[in-house]
Amino acid sequence: MLPAINPTTTKAWSLLTEHQRQLSTVHMRELFAADPQRFSKFSNCLEDLVFDYSKNIITEKTVEILLGLAKECRLAEAVEAMFSGDPINQTENRSVLHTALRNFSGEAVFANGVDVMPGVKKVLRQMKAFSKSVHEAASGVIQARKSVIS
């Protein structure tokens, strides 16, 4: 099980709180004026998808502190545990399996030493069949109403 770390009790949180206080009077136009490379520093592109966070009141120091917070909260370990199928859902003491629901690679996803993908694929097929039946039923109702109106 993952350690329960309250982020608000970390050193990084204190640093972030102080940093936020320092930035509270900073305006966006000042940040862009001071750094012509701001967009390239604070955005990521993947093909035609752009994640632009340059239009937030943040600096390189902000990112540094946030990365420190992630480290202090052991985020990398939590991500690895999630991808490994470890039981990190503390309420139900089981794997979260978010990765299995989004796995279209054909690779196995293990939880407690068992490949869960056959079960996930079965449920996804059932959901698809159910959705199709709902759409067909709705289409039939719409067609019936059209014929009554005509």
* Per-residue pLDDT tens digits for 124-150: 999 999 999 999 888 877 777 777 776
Least reliable range by pLDDT among 4-8, 19-23, 30-34, 79-83: 79-83
pLDDT averaged over every residue in the chain: 90
Planar angle of CA 122, 123, 124, nearest 5 degrees: 90
Distance (Å, whole) CA 120 – CA 132:
18
What integer pLDDT is reported at residue 96 of this predicted model? 85
Express each pLDDT in 40-57 by its tens digit.
Answer: 999 999 999 999 999 999
Q: Which residues pair with 115 in a beta bridge?
A: 110
Mean per-residue pLDDT, 55-77: 96
Mean per-residue pLDDT, 70-85: 90
Share of the chain above pLDDT 70, in %: 99
What integer pLDDT is reported at residue 71 of this predicted model? 96
More confident call, 32 vs 104: 32
Alpha helix (H) residue ranges in 1-150? 11-23, 28-34, 38-41, 60-72, 75-84, 98-101, 117-149
Distance (Å, whole) CA 24 – CA 18:
10
Euclidean distance between the first and the last CA atom of the chain, given in angstroms as a whole number: 63
Distance, CA of 2 to chain centre: 18
What integer pLDDT is reported at residue 6 of this predicted model? 94
3 has a pLDDT exceeding 80 = no
Query: Reduced to 3 states, what is the DSSP secondary structure of residue 52?
Result: strand
Alpha helix (H) residue ranges in 85-149? 98-101, 117-149
111 has a pLDDT exceeding 90 = no
Distance (Å, whole) CA 93 – CA 119:
19
